[in-house]
Every structure is written in structure tokens, then in C-alpha cells.
């Protein structure tokens, strides 16, 4: 069933594990992510970027898609429908559409404006029990048109954002969206420790695809309670769909039946999501 994010992510922080946040793009992705959560018997965050919501036809449609798929699949584990990297307008729209949680990503604004708008979104969201994620510093690379320089989270700014009453905080600690470059230096654990000591809110690790598992687990032990993963599912999906198309291109019916063609991709998404749930040590909610 659909639930708000605050308590579940706070519970993860207390229990020293993390909740996985996975991006959806359509019906198949939604089914795969929900099936993984149900199979592992754990809570999960299913999120849409602004771009994915636009692609699918709007926040309301995405919210209804997730809500109705939960019902049709008899999903009983807690599901949090979250807006990933939303701007001010998107956060408001997702709140109105019934999302359970929103990220207001103000990394491209000057800090004063980021802080003011975060405050406004917190007031609006909390009046409906909806959780809010803010961002300090920035995530390097690009995701769905959101581009960041990758600057490290500033401790003073983190304190001010945390004081707005946000429920979780995404922090730039050397993490990057998309595929990590060969010469990547790894996560900045010193900055993560400083953040942990400075602010009590659960921290969010973005750019979860391709970070070595030991680094992810170390980050979780240092207070990360939500890990976002997107590119890895895309790569797994594309690889299996491509393989199916190649293998079956000469077979008449199988070669172009969309349901058959997408099935191996859907399975690949479910498998990667389950793998990440194991890595994050996500525990069932009692
Ligand atoms: O907001 C979503 C994520 O931070 C996903 O990043 O595509 O590098 O896994 P990723
Ligand atoms: Zn992100």
C-alpha cells in the first residue's frame, strides 16, 4: 500500500540500513519495481523524474498508475511514491497529484532562494503528511536534463536546510549521475562524516548506479538511509531487450510482439532492483 516516506526512511536510518529508490518510466518498470519489493518483502521508494512524468502524461497519471498497479498486483509491502529532482512547480504539482514524498532540488538556485523555496515546499507538503527531500551541494553528471557540477555539500548550508524541517537530505559527496568515469575518486567519506555529525536528518545517496558495493555499505553505515538507482536498471533493461530483438529478428510473431519483446527487460529490472535491496540490507517493516 502507498505510505508517506518520513517514518520509513527514519526507521532505516535508526536500523543502519537503506531504502532503495528506483525510477519508473512506464507500466513495465512500475510492475518490475513493485514485484521486487513484494518478493523481498521490504518497503521501496518508486520515483519519477520530471522528465519521466512528462513522458508518461503527467503526475496524476503516474500516481494513478502506481496506485492501481499496487492494487492489481496485490502488493502488500509499503510503497512510497516519490518525485525525483523536482523543481518548485513540479514539487507543487506532485503534492497536488497525491505523491507521498517529493524532492525539491534547488541546487541550481542561489542558496538563499533554495532555502526559501525548500521552506515553502516543506510547509505545503507537511500539511498533508508528505515527506520532503532537499539537496545540498550537487550531484555530478546528468540525469534526465538535471545537470550538476558535483560540488561537495557545504556543512553550514546543510545545517540551514535541515532546520527547515525536511525529512531527508541529498548531499553531494563526490557522487555522480549516470556511469562513473574511469578516473572517479570514490565517495568522500570525510565529508559524509562531517555531515552526519552536523545534521540529524537521514541522508540520501544519489547516483547509486556503479558505486562499488563496499562504498555503498560504508555510506549506509555513516547515515545514508535512502539510495537512488536509475541508470543500472536502464542498462540491464536495454541489454536484455536488445538481445531479445537480435535473437528473434527472423521469427515472425515473436519478433515483434511488444509484450514478448519487453518481458526480458522487465525481468532484468526486477533482478537488479532485488540485487540492490540485498546490498542495502533493507529490512521488512513490522
Ligand atoms: O535521482 C536518481 C539517481 O540519483 C540515480 O542515479 O542513474 O546514477 O543511478 P543513477
Ligand atoms: Zn539523483
Using the mean position of ligand 2's atoms as its centre, give its distance from the Cα of residue 248 in Å.
Answer: 35
The beta-strand segments (E) located in the chain are 19-23, 44-49, 79-86, 101-104, 131-136, 141-143, 146-148, 168-171, 203-205, 224-229
Give residue-wise pLDDT tens across range 205-243: 999 999 999 999 999 999 999 999 999 999 999 999 999
Confidence of residue 100 (pLDDT cuts 50, 70, 90): very high
User: Element (H or E) spanning 159, and its range?
Assistant: helix 155-162
Q: Is the CB of 272 under 6 A from ligand 1?
A: no
Q: Which ligand is nearest to the CA of 231?
A: 1
Q: Is residue 252 part of a domain?
A: no
Does a structural domain hold residue 74? yes
Q: What is the mean predicted confidence (pLDDT) over 96-115?
A: 96
Counted domains in the chain: 1
Beta-carbon neighbours within 5 Å of ion ligand 2 = 206, 228
Q: Is 84 a catalytic site residue? A: yes
Residues in Cβ contact with 54 at an 8 Å cutoff, skipping those fewer than 6 apart: none
Q: Identify the domain containing residue 220 by its residue range.
A: 6-231+269-280
Backbone angles phi and psi of 205, in degrees to 5: -100, 110
- Whole-model pTM: value is 0.97
- Atom of ligand 1 lying closest to residue 209 CA: 9
CA distance 124 to 122: 6
| CATH at 49 | 3.20.20.70
**The pLDDT value given to residue 179:** 94
Q: What is the predicted pLDDT for the residue at 131?
A: 98
For residue 54, is it within any domain? yes
Report the SS3 class of residue 103: strand
Q: For residue 148, list its beta bridge partners.
A: 141
Query: What is the pLDDT, as a whole number, of residue 28?
Result: 98
* 209 Cβ below 6 A of ligand 1: yes
Tell me if 240 is assigned to some domain: no
Q: Is residue 253 part of a domain?
A: no
Q: Is 206 in the pocket of ligand 1 (CB under 6 A)?
A: yes
Output the CA 71–ligand 2 centroid distance in Å.
28
The mean pLDDT of 20-48, rounded to a whole number, is 98
Amino acid at each position: 500500500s502507498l505510505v508517506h516516506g518520513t517514518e520509513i526512511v527514519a526507521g532505516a536510518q535508526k536500523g543502519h540500513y537503506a531504502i532503495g529508490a528506483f525510477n519508473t518510466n512506464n507500466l513495465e518498470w512500475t510492475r518490475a519495481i513493485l514485484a521486487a519489493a513484494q518478493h523481498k518483502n521490504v518497503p521501496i521508494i518508486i520515483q519519477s523524474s520530471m522528465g519521466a512524468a512528462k513522458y508518461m502524461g503527467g503526475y496524476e497519471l503516474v500516481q494513478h498508475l502506481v496506485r492501481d498497479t499496487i492494487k492489481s498486483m496485490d502488493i502488500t509491502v509499503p510503497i512510497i511514491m516519490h518525485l525525483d529532482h523536482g523543481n518548485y512547480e513540479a514539487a507543487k504539482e506532485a503534492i497536488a497529484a497525491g505523491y507521498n514524498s517529493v524532492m525539491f532540488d534547488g541546487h541550481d538556485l542561489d542558496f538563499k532562494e533554495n532555502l526559501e523555496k525548500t521552506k515553502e515546499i516543506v510547509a505545503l507538503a507537511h500539511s498533508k503528511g508528505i515527506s520532503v527531500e532537499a539537496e545540498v551541494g550537487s550531484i555530478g553528471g546528468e540525469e534526465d536534463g538535471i545537470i550538476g557540477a558535483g560540488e561537495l555539500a557545504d556543512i553550514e548550508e546543510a545545517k540551514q536546510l535541515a532546520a527547515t524541517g525536511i525529512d531527508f537530505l541529498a548531499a553531494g559527496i563526490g557522487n555522480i549521475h549516470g556511469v562513473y568515469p574511469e578516473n572517479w575518486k570514490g565517495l568522500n567519506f570525510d565529508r559524509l562524516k562531517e555531515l552526519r555529525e552536523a545534521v540529524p536528518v537521514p541522508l540520501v545517496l544519489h547516483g547509486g548506479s556503479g558505486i562499488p558495493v563496499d562504498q555503498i555499505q560504508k555510506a549506509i553505515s555513516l547515515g545514508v538511509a535512502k539510495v537512488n538507482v536509475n541508470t543500472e536498471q536502464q542498462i540491464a533493461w536495454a541489454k536484455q531487450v536488445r538481445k531479445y530483438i537480435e535473437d528473434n529478428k527472423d521469427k515472425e510473431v515473436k519478433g515483434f510482439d511488444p509484450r514478448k519483446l519487453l518481458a526480458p527487460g522487465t525481468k532484468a529490472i526486477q533482478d537488479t532492483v532485488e540485487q540492490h535491496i540485498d546490498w542495502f540490507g533493507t529490512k521488512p517493516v513490522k
